Structure 1
Amino acid sequence: MFYLKTKEQFNKFERAKRRVPAFMDKKLFTFDEIKLKMVNYCVYQDRCHYEVEKKMREFVLIPEAKEEIIMYLIRENYLNEERFTRSYIRGKFYIKHWGRNKIRQHLKQKGITEKLINKCMDEIDENDYENEILKQWEAYRSKLKGLQNYQKDIKTTRYLMSRGFEYDLISSLSGN
C-alpha cells in the first residue's frame, strides 16, 4: 500500500481513477460571474495584465472570453498599467525600502515595459532615495560587530546592492 502525500497528488490520483480531464476540476462559473470576480480582484488592489491573466487561469474560459473581460476591465479603468506601476513603485520604496534596481527587476517580471517603468520612476523623490540609502547604511553597519571598518563597508555595500540600490550612489553617499 502507498500513501499520497499531498492534496495535489490525491487529486491527480482521483482524476486518473475516474478518467476525468484536468479542466473539469476547475471551478465552473458563468461569464458574468467571472467578470464580476475579476472586477472585485482589480478593485481590491491595483493589478497588472500579467496578474489578471494568471488569476483567470483558475476559470474555464475560451480565449475570446478572456480577451473580452480584459478589454472590459481596461475600458472601465479597473485595469490600468500606469496606475499599477506607480502604486507598485511607491509601495516597494516607501514601505519595503527597496532600491530602483530591485523594483525595476520585479516590474519586468510582471511584464511591464521598460518605457513605462522609466516614466513612472519619478514617484521616488531623489532626496528620500538618498536619505533611505544613508539610513539603511547606518542601520546595517551598526549591526556588524567584530569586523574592521573596510570589511563593514564591503558587507554594507553588498547588502544595499542586494536591496536594489545603485553602487555609484552607495559609494558616493558613504564616502568610499
Structure 2
Amino acid sequence: MNHKENYTVDEATRKLEGYCAYQDRCHKEVVRKLKEMGMISIAIDTIVSHLINENYLNEERFAKSFARGKFKIKKWGKNRIVNELKFRDISRYNIQTALKEIDGPEYFTTLDNLAKKRLAQINERNIQKRKRKLADYLLYRGWESHLVYEKTNELIS
C-alpha cells in the first residue's frame, strides 16, 4: 500500500533541513524530494528559499564537494564530473568553480595510477586491443581524450 504522508510547510522545512545538513544537495534533488512529499509549487518555492537563506542549500558548495568527492573517491576525470553536474542543472559558473577544487599535479598522478592499475588487469595479448580496452575504461571514467591517448601510448608500446 502506497500512501503519502501529508506534511505542513514547517514539517517539510524541518525534514529538508536535516536532508541538506546530512550532505550537500543540489536544488534539483531538494525539489524532487519535496515533490515526492506531495508539496505544491508555492510551498516548494518557500522551502527552497528558506534553505538557501539559512545556508542549508548552497549550489556552489555542493558543486565543489561533488567534484572533490568524485575525483578523490571514484577517480573520475573532469569530463564525467562536468557531465554529472550539468545533469543536476548546476550553472556553468559553479561547474568552473568546482573544477578548481581538483589539484593539477594530483590529477595527473591519479590518471597515471588508475591507468597502471587497470592495465595490470587487462589480459589481452594484442597491443591494439589492449590500448583500446585501457582507453575505453579511462574515457568512461571521464578523463579527457587527449590525456587518455597520451597515457595509453606511454604505457603500451
TM value normalised by structure 2: 0.91
Stretches of structure 1 that go unaligned for 5 or more consecutive residues are: 1-6, 12-24
Structure 1 CA distance for aligned equivalents of residues 80 and 97 of structure 2 = 16
User: RCO greater where, 1 or 2, for CA within 8 Å and sep 6 or more?
Assistant: 2
Residue 100, structure 1, aligned to residue 100, structure 2: no
1:128 aligns with 2:106: yes
Tell me what 1:29 maps to. 7
* Structure-2 separation of matches of 1:58 and 1:75: 23
CA contact (8 A) 1:93 1:124 kept: yes
* Contact kept in structure 1, 2:16 and 2:30, CA below 8 Å: yes
User: Percent same amino acid among aligned pairs?
Assistant: 38
Aligned to 1:91: 69
Q: Which aligned pairs between 1:1-176 and structure 2 lie closer than 5 A? A: 25-175=3-153
Whole-Å separation in 2 of the counterparts to 1:38 and 1:70: 9
CA RMSD in angstroms comes to 1.5
**TM superposition score normalised by structure 1:** 0.82
Cα shift at 1:131: 0.9
Distance in structure 2 (CA, Å) of the matches to 1:175 and 1:146? 16
Q: Which runs of 5+ in 2 are unaligned?
A: none
Indicate the SS of the match to 2:100: helix
1:123 counterpart SS class: coil
